[in-house]
Structure 1
Amino acid sequence: MSINCQRLPRPMAACGSDSDPMAQPRILFITRKWAPAIGGMETYSMRLVEALGESTDLRVLSLPGRADGRPPGSTALLGFALRICRERLFTSRDNDVVHIGDMASWPLALPFLVAKHRPQIVLSAHGTDVSYAGRKSWRGRCYRLYQRIGAYLLSGAKVIANSKATAQAARESGWADLRVVPLATDIAADSPLQEIDGRTLLFAGRLIPLKGCGWFVDQVLPLLPDTMRLHVAGPPWDETERRRMNHPRVDYLGTLDREALAGEYRNAICIVVPNVAMGNGQFEGFGLVAPEAAGAGGVVLASRTGGLIDAVLDGETGFLVTAGDAEAWAEKIMAVATWTREERVRFTDGARLRVQEHFNWDRVARETLTTYLGGELLPIQLSSRN
């Protein structure tokens, strides 16, 4: 097992020091989601650290994943927890903020509750790490109790959620002080708009029922002209979804590298993100594929559900379509398919610019820092996940 401990340099004096009361806060960021493991939480941890490290006094304790891209095992996690305890006992540094990288890891904050200089505890919520508490199984009920215990013990903690849907799920588990900071993307178009072939749709993501690819193949594809085909890029995590790849109008591309995926984004009539409602309480925490595809020059159609509502700026970076309404999906796809080149260029140019303005890591770091400092973000209204 290997544990990374980093102290990121910055141009300012350490925050909270007697000599400089106006300096930035001393932040300890703790995460079990780190390369070489692959996933959205890992990307979030590494890119946030990179963005924050440019202007803050930041120390990072991270547990690297396995070489094959999988997350660390239980033995490594136990060793990591012990390392955090040693950090608290034997490191003289006082932290103003201790930021835990995901909600399942909330116990890692407990050693800092007894510090002489008690830090502000901040946790990041991503989706699955809170939505699992909504499942009806005994595991879901146990996890809900686990989250409620965390919310009780860390009653003064702030939770940074990646969408309003994720914030709602966190609130239902007992967490009270919530902020919404949508994620960012690094993918951007580096070449002018190419001529699309006019007959290809694209689905990019894990093949699981929640993502709706199987539903789309069964319910929407038959409503479209026979000349239209669906390209699918992503790992087949569910056997039922994998079998849909045998459909005669589906071309399964496997898992693509960054450059190839960006090309598929630009070449498709539109990128479909057709998430469906799940009876087990599972939902999309954010849906990073939506701003990624828009940033690469694609036209995004996404379900109006879960965190996708925050991942798509409706009419600006893509379009939201009623989840589970096959006719509405077919109608919107055909509308986009009939755009002139000028209409497409006008929309995709505007979408790329909007993605660069809004879905960037500098904005994520700035809003995270605002949370650290006790400032207010735009108010959020939480009711349901739709």
Structure 2
Amino acid sequence: MSDPLKITFVTRKWPPAMGGMETYAQQVSTRLKAYGEVEVIALPGHPDGSAPTPWELLRFGAKTALSLLFSRDPAPVVHVADMASWPLALFARLRRPSVRRILSAHGTDVSYPARGGLKGRLYGTYLRLGAKLLGRVTVIANSAATASAAGLYGYRDVVVVPLAAEARLQGEAPAPEMQTLLFCGRLTPLKGFRWFVENVLPLLPEPIVLEVAGTVWDETEGAALSAPRVHHLGRLDQPALYQRMAAALCVVVPNIHLENGQFEGFGLVATEAAAVGGVVVAARHAGLKDAVKDGETGFLVTPGDAEAWAREIKRVAGWSAEERAGFVAGSKATAARYYNWDRVARDTARQFVQTQ
């Protein structure tokens, strides 16, 4: 019987810090133990849930680089859990030239250059340098949009492994509130909140209102909270948010195209909403195309087409109770079957043994 595959998993994103990348790192590294011996090198967040400081990040990077460079028994696989940390894979290669190098790409870590400015240009150059120095490296992207962006910086071996959302309702499912839409997330131009309020909400019947669960990151977007038929709930904890998702007529995810090319890597809110019994209507945009199985876990609509959005919402509003219950049951089953961390780990592990 052959020895188990040894894997070194490196991440600067780890609980108790809170966020999608922290969840990804913890869930994937835990489930990869079914495929080999996993050594996790992680930088934990702070007890209050905040991320490490820049100094802590620099210290972690230096310490991890030395550990990989001078390892007595280097693993044949090194998985670095974000693109910004690519130099750590280079140190692993210097120690063991044959090491299988894996990078995770989440969206923001390859779309940041699109923001422009000196920082954006420098970061784009930094990513290109990684593609040149790392040699054969596999990038595991969370969506086709993220994969395409990684390719722009010279990464050629890129595979798509969509994320998971094992969200669960606490308590009984709430009764549907057929006059309430729900928007969840940060209020930024990319998310399309203000566009939806100004262009779609006026096309919907007067009783329909829009609830907003999220925080203001852009003042222009935040100004739309004062519009008629908009109710700001603020930031909700997960149990309360999932209850609102399940109760809403639709959970709307109206991302729009931006001229600078920014995009959302995956769109986890759409997958979470489907998992807890929400009816998702999302833009056919970037990572949302991988976060929603169109017609199965939600419905994709052309971004920026207000009339198409209004038609789709009115169609869902016209369902009978039986039609809605049937769709929700199927949506939750598909979400549980496909958008789970065991599938993510399995698809990830396939890349480890590709050239072994």
Give the structure-1-normalised TM-score.
Answer: 0.89
- Between the aligned partners of 2:310 and 2:150, the Cα distance in structure 1 is 34
Which SS does the other structure have where 1:269 is aligned? strand
Contact (CA 8 Å) 1:133, 1:173: kept in 2 or not? no
- Give the counterpart of 1:363 among 325, 336, 343: 343
For residues 77 and 166 of structure 1, what CA distance do their matches in structure 2 show? 24
Counterpart of 1:343 in structure 2 is 323
Amino acid at match of 1:354: T
Contact 2:169 2:243 in 1 (8 A): no
Q: Say which SS state the counterpart of residue 53 (structure 1) adopts.
A: helix
- Which position in structure 2 is the counterpart of 1:225? 205
Match of 1:298 in 2: 278
The aligned length equals 355
Higher helix share: 2
The CA distance in 1 between the partners of 2:342 and 2:249, in whole Å, is: 31
State the Cα RMSD in Å.
Answer: 1.5
Residue aligning to 2:107: 127
Q: 1:45-124, aligned counterparts within 5 Å?
A: 45-116=25-96, 118-124=98-104
Task: Give the equivalent residue in structure 2 for 1:382.
Answer: none
Q: CA deviation at 1:142?
A: 1.5
Give the superposition deviation at 1:189.
4.4
Q: Give, in angstroms, the shift of residue 137 of structure 1.
A: 2.5
Decide whether the 8 Å contact of 2:214 with 2:233 is kept in 1. Answer: yes
Amino acid at match of 1:188: R
SS in 2 for 1:149: helix
5+ unaligned residues in a row in structure 1: which ranges? 1-19, 376-386
**Partner residue of 1:187 out of 164, 167, 170:** 167
Name 2:119's counterpart in structure 1. Answer: 139
Structure 1, 337-346 or 255-264: larger mean CA deviation: 255-264
How far the C-alpha of 1:214 sits from its partner, in A, is: 1.2
The aligned counterpart of 1:332 is 312
| Deviation, structure 1 residue 190 | 5.9
Partner Cα separation in structure 1 for residue 199 and residue 328 of structure 2: 27
Letter in 2 for 1:106: W
Verify the 8 A CA contact 1:208 1:236 in the aligned structure 2: yes
Determine if contact 1:36/1:68 at 8 Å carries over to the other structure. Answer: yes
Identify which of 141, 147, 150 aligns with 1:161. 141
**Counterpart residue identity of residue 66, structure 1:** H
* Structure 1 counterpart of 2:131: 151
Kept in 2, the 8 Å contact 1:206–1:236? The answer is yes
Preserved CA contact (<8 Å) 2:274 2:297: yes
Question: Would you say the 8 A contact 2:7–2:37 is kept in 1?
Answer: yes
- Give the CA deviation at 1:278: 1.1
* TM-score normalised by L of structure 2: 0.96
Q: Which amino acid aligns with 1:271?
A: V
Aligned equivalent of 2:248: 268
Q: Is the 8 A contact 2:282 2:299 kept in 1?
A: yes
1:352 equivalent among 332, 338, 343: 332
- Conserved 8 A contact 1:162-1:181: yes
Residue aligned with 2:178, SS? coil
Question: SS of the counterpart of 2:265?
Answer: coil
- Separation in structure 1 between the aligned mates of residue 179 and residue 129 of structure 2, nearest angstrom: 52
* Corresponding residue of 1:12: none
Output the CA distance in 2 between the equivalents of 1:89 and 1:110.
9
Shift of the 91–136 alpha-carbon distance from structure 1 to 2, 3 Å rule, reads: closer
SS in 2 for 1:199: strand
Distance 2:288 2:68 in 1: 38
Q: Which residue of 2 aligns with 1:255?
A: 235
Q: Secondary structure at the match of 1:271?
A: strand
Distance in 2 between residues matched to 1:374 and 1:31, nearest whole Å = 22
Provide the C-alpha distance between the structure 2 equivalents of 1:45 and 1:116, rounded to a whole number of angstroms.
Answer: 24
**Alpha carbons of 1:189 and 1:66: their partners in 2 closer, same or farther (altered >3 Å)?**
closer
- Bigger mean CA offset, 303-312 vs 245-254: 245-254
| Contact 2:70/2:95 (<8 A) preserved | no
1:381 is matched with which residue?
none
- For residues 160 and 65 of structure 2, the distance between their equivalents in structure 1, rounded to whole angstroms, comes to 29
Whole-Å separation in 1 of the counterparts to 2:171 and 2:338: 21
C-alpha separation in 1, matches of 2:224 and 2:201: 12
> Given that residues 69 and 92 in structure 2 are in contact (C-alpha distance below 8 angstroms), is that contact kept between their aligned partners in structure 1?
no
Distance, in Å, in 2 between the alignment partners of 1:125 and 1:212 is: 23
Moved more, 330-339 or 69-78: 69-78
Tell me, what secondary structure is at the counterpart of 2:59? helix
Distance 1:116 1:334 in 2: 59
Q: Note if contact 1:38-1:70 (Cα within 8 Å) is conserved in structure 2.
A: yes
Residue of structure 1 in register with 2:177 after alignment:
197
CA contact (8 A) 2:169 2:239 kept: no
In structure 1, the residue corresponding to 2:78 is in which secondary structure? strand
Q: Which amino acid aligns with 2:45?
A: G
Counterpart in the other structure of 2:259: 279
